[in-house]
């Protein structure tokens, strides 16, 4: 992504392997298609990864151009849709279901209206689409006609909530095992919170049985408010355990639990109340940073004793696909 950012004044990292570049304001004496091939060649040289490049006046058209670049080998991996005539030619070939932002349900409803291709959607009346599907789908229509409606987001939006939830590999029937699971989820959610450079004041916990299993059904949740914003794992575990004590009921076979963190404040600007009855742990930030550094080093892992060493409650993962994109040890070996 750093390499991509060097090719344009503004960049939006859309996902782990996709980004939007904004060429607005660039003084150029070259064709955009040639520039796209230059970007493609640089990425291949530096990372050994083949990529597709789609160029267009709107983000939706750029996604379509990128789809075409990856689908049709004759393009060489680069498609420039700056020309309106090329736009409409390609839109006529693309099913409306493959348009960015058009989900399966909306696509099915559009088909009943005779809108089957991206070009059909582009030719539809904006007022009708807005009335039937809302403003988001209308923006998609306008973007298909070359009218920019979706701005580039250079700054990643801060999350409003963090959820850590798992289904158990076995039905949990005792509170000791449940405490271990809740402790693990609280620990992971706290790690995510620190990754976002945020602190939270609200910790929520939910537990539930399976609606499809035999036996009594039960689901409940509880929220605990902290006296001060925190990203300290100890605070979050403590609050989660207090929440569990209020909603736990014996006699049920629980299959799922989860932690929800909310009410965030930026870690860099958080102010604490010196008159609060309970104050943050001393050297909390330094300790959490040290724990995160160790856990991210790959040399070992530090965890809180509350979750224990018995992970029998975890979901079975024997059929889990290898993590080819995130774990070097799981990369397939090719011998020639």
Quick one: tokens of 124? 């539809």
> CATH number of the domain at 162-270+282-307, out of 3.40.50.300, 3.30.930.20, 3.30.1490.100, 3.90.245.10?
3.30.1490.100
CA 331/CA 336 separation, integer angstroms: 16
CA 39/CA 108 separation, integer angstroms: 37
pLDDT digits (tens, 9 = 90+) for 95-143: 999 999 898 889 999 999 999 999 999 999 999 999 999 999 999 999 9
CATH fold match for the domains 2-144 and 162-270+282-307: no
Q: Residue 102: which of 93, 111, 114 has the closest Cα?
A: 111
CA 100/CA 111 separation, integer angstroms: 16
The arithmetic mean of pLDDT across residues 321-326, rounded, is 64
Give me the pLDDT at residue 177, please.
Answer: 93
Q: Which residues lie closer than 8 Å to 123 by C-beta, 6 or more apart?
A: none
What one-character-per-residue DSSP string does 242-266 give? HHHHHH--TT--EEEEEEEEEEEEE
pLDDT digits (tens, 9 = 90+) for 271-311: 656 556 666 778 888 999 998 898 887 766 777 877 766 65
Please give the model's pTM, rounded to 2 decimal places.
0.53
The full set of domain ranges for the chain reads 2-144, 162-270+282-307
pLDDT digits (tens, 9 = 90+) for 9-46: 888 888 878 999 998 877 566 789 999 999 999 999 98
In the predicted model, is pLDDT for residue 81 greater than 50?
Answer: yes
Give me the pLDDT at residue 1, please.
Answer: 77
Q: Residue 258: which of 162, 161, 163, 165 has the closest Cα?
A: 165
Q: Are strands 254-266 and 198-209 parallel, antiparallel or unpaired?
A: antiparallel
CATH of domain 2-144: 1.10.150.20
Task: Give, as one character, the DSSP assignment of residue 271.
Answer: -
More confident residue, 2 or 216: 216
Quick one: tokens of 113? 């209206």
């Amino acid at each position: 992504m750093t390499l991509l950012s060097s090719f344009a004044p503004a960049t939006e990292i859309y996902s782990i392997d996709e980004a939007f570049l904004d060429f607005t304001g660039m003084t150029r004496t070259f064709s955009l298609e040639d520039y796209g091939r230059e970007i493609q060649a640089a990425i291949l040289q530096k990372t050994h990864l083949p990529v597709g490049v789609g160029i267009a006046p709107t983000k939706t058209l750029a996604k379509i151009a990128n789809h075409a670049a990856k689908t049709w080998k004759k393009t060489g991996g680069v498609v420039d849709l700056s020309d309106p005539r090329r736009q409409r030619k390609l839109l006529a070939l693309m099913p409306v279901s493959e348009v960015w932002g058009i989900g399966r349900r909306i696509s099915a409803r559009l088909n009943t209206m005779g809108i089957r291709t991206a070009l059909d959607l582009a030719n539809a009346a904006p007022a009708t689409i807005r009335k039937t599907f809302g403003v988001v789908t209308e923006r998609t229509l306008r973007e298909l006609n070359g009218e920019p409606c979706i701005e580039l987001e250079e700054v990643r939006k801060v999350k409003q909530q963090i959820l850590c939830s798992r289904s158990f590999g076995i039905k949990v029937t005792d509170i000791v095992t449940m405490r271990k699971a809740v402790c693990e989820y609280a620990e992971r959610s706290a790690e995510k919170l620190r990754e976002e450079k945020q602190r939270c004041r609200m910790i929520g916990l939910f537990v539930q049985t399976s609606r499809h299993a035999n036996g009594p059904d039960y689901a409940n949740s509880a929220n605990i408010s902290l006296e001060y914003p925190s990203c300290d794992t100890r605070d979050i575990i403590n609050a989660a355990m207090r929440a569990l004590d209020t909603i736990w009921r014996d006699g049920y076979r629980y299959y799922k639990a989860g932690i929800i963190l909310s009410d965030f404040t930026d870690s860099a600007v958080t102010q604490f109340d010196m008159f609060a009855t309970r104050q943050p742990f001393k050297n909390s930030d330094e300790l959490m940073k040290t724990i995160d550094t160790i856990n991210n080093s790959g040399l070992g892992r530090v965890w809180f004793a509350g979750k224990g060493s018995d992970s029998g409650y975890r979901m079975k993962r024997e059929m889990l696909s290898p993590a080819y994109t995130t774990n070097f040890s799981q990369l397939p070996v090719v011998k020639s």
